[in-house]
Amino acid sequence: MIDLQNLSLKELKQLQKDVDAAIKDFNERERRKALAEVEAFARERGLTAADLLDLGSVKRTRRPAAPKYANPADASQTWTGRGRRPRWVEAALAAGKSLDDLAI
């Protein structure tokens, strides 16, 4: 065990640098070990690690939703019913209207 109380500031700073370097080295060894395990896993199944990474890059595209509600005062203002309510919807609801009154 290191007696930190008897070390000088210079020795403590050097110890800190050494510990930081050791942590960085440890993390790199663990990363390489995990990568080797992934490559072995993929190889057992006839794949490469790149094949596994490509599977996660498939993006799901969402089609735009059709508007369900329109502003009675300005029909160009529409809302799909998703997300935050527009101000005109909030104002209509506060005035006593329902969403059914605003439906297209």
The answer for residues whose C-beta is within 8 angstroms of residue 47's C-beta and 6 or more apart is none
Bridge partners (DSSP) listed for residue 87: none
Q: Which residue has the tokens 């210079």?
A: 10
C-alpha to C-alpha distance for 20 and 32, rounded to whole angstroms: 18
Residue 57 is given by DSSP the state T
**Tell me: the pLDDT tens digits for 36-58?**
998 999 899 998 877 777 755 56
State residue 39 phi and psi, 5-degree precision. Answer: -65, -40
What predicted TM-score, i.e. pTM, was given to this entire model? 0.46
pLDDT in 10s for each residue of the chain, 104 residues:
889 999 999 999 999 999 999 999 999 999 999 999 989 998 999 988 777 777 555 667 778 899 999 998 898 999 999 999 999 999 999 999 999 999 99
